[in-house]
Amino acid sequence: MKAFVIDRYGKNQQGRIGDMPEPTLRDDDVLIDVHAAGVNLLDAKIRNGEFKLILPYQLPLMLGNDIAGTVIRTGASVGRFKPGDQVYARPDQDRIGGFAERIAIREASLALMPANVDMTEAASLPLVALTAWQALVETARLRAGQKVLIHAGSGGVGSIAIQLAKHLGATVATTTSSANVGWVRALGADVVIDYRQQDFAAELRDYDVVLNSLGNRELSHSLNVLKPGGQLISISGPPTPAFAVEQKLSWPLQQIMRLLSYRIRKQARQRNIRYDFVFMRAEGEQLSHITSLVEQGIIKPVVDKVFDFTATAEALAYVETGRARGKVVVSLR
């Protein structure tokens, strides 16, 4: 089958379309004919080698962390899906490869895609929607009446997190560029900080939760926004010792994670703020909840650009510019 692969890690490695072996189907797997695949900054980071110590993939490696497609066949123990079902998923982190004609995904990581969206829109959702869910619902336990700051509201995660937070009844603030102020308001943001004109840390106070997807500067300054007892959640790092234990990393790597996050954990602790690092995981049951929210019109997919499969390298380059409004998708059809 045709797939987009990298042969080695590195920022100057563009990747290529090549022939790869057909997926091996386990008893609890579902074989999927991929119609579309979401493109994430995570794909570029994996290609660049930023996760090679945490996620020891074998090369050549098929990239791709979001898919939508049609079930071809199922493993012997699969009971929830059948050939012809239209499904979507974020593959498990040790079995990525969405930029390919076919992929095998665990039944537990898969969900029926929303009936009111097409394959391209469905492929834009799993990783960012599950990230938003696991940060705001599972980790923050965000509830009505609370205040949340969502950084980079026009990005893939931010555009979905704003909609989810509003559904949960929170007051939502976000940061974005001048060109996107009106656009993120339309998504549901109550307070919009134009980072080109304003300093969010000087404008906002007494927030319950901050969801950070930016760098160390924004992470540290976010502490000024939170009230005592608040929660700072980052999806861009630095990882925590708890994350290292969850990932079953070696003792030396656990100590590296401890050192990387020491400063922000200390700063948070001094202010009676909890710091958490969320590394999103595949989860079919949560994705089914998201399906329901999409079908009710509560969450709407946000697709910026669609690239042909042959232009996957260009799609990755576009995502790396940071200018995408919502998600970028590769179409295999």
DSSP assignment of 149-213 equals EESSTTSHHHHHHHHHHHHTT-EEEEEE-GGGHHHHHHHT-SEEEETTT--HHHH--SEEEEEE-
User: And the tokens for 256?
Assistant: 């590296």
The gap from C-alpha 64 to its chain's centroid, in whole angstroms, comes to 12
| Cα 271 to Cα 222: distance, rounded to the nearest angstrom | 12
| Cα 231 to Cα 208: distance, rounded to the nearest angstrom | 6
- Rounded to 5°, the CA angle 297-281-174 comes to 50
Q: Kindly give the parts of the chain with pLDDT less than 50.
A: none
β-bridge mates for residue 86, sequence order: 70
Q: Which residues touch 141 (CB under 8 Å, ≥6 apart)?
A: none
Is the alpha carbon torsion for 322, 323, 325, 331 positive or negative? negative
Between 156-167 and 126-133, two packed helices, what is the crossing angle to 10 degrees?
50
User: And the tokens for 44?
Assistant: 């570029």
Q: What pLDDT, on the 0 to 100 scale, is given for residue 237? A: 87
Q: What pLDDT, on the 0 to 100 scale, is given for residue 56? A: 86
Between 126-133 and 284-295, two packed helices, what is the crossing angle to 10 degrees?
100
Among all chains, which residue has been given the structure tokens 């057909």? 22
Euclidean distance between the first and final Cα of the chain, in Å? 14
25 neighbors 31 (Cβ within 8 angstroms) = yes
β-bridge mates for residue 330, sequence order: 37, 307
* Domains delineated in the chain: 2-124+302-331 (3.90.180.10), 127-277 (3.40.50.720)
Q: What pLDDT, on the 0 to 100 scale, is given for residue 52? A: 87
DSSP assigned state of 51:
T
User: And the tokens for 246?
Assistant: 């969850």
Burial of 62 (0-12, 13-18, 19+ CB in 10 A): buried
DSSP assigned state of 100:
B
- What separation in angstroms does the CA of 134 have from each of 23, 64, 128, 313? 28, 20, 10, 29
Q: What pLDDT, on the 0 to 100 scale, is given for residue 320? A: 94
E strand or H helix that includes residue 129: helix 126-133
| Cα 128 to Cα 146: distance, rounded to the nearest angstrom | 22
Q: Which amino acid is located at 95 in the chain?
A: R
85 neighbors 105 (Cβ within 8 angstroms) = no
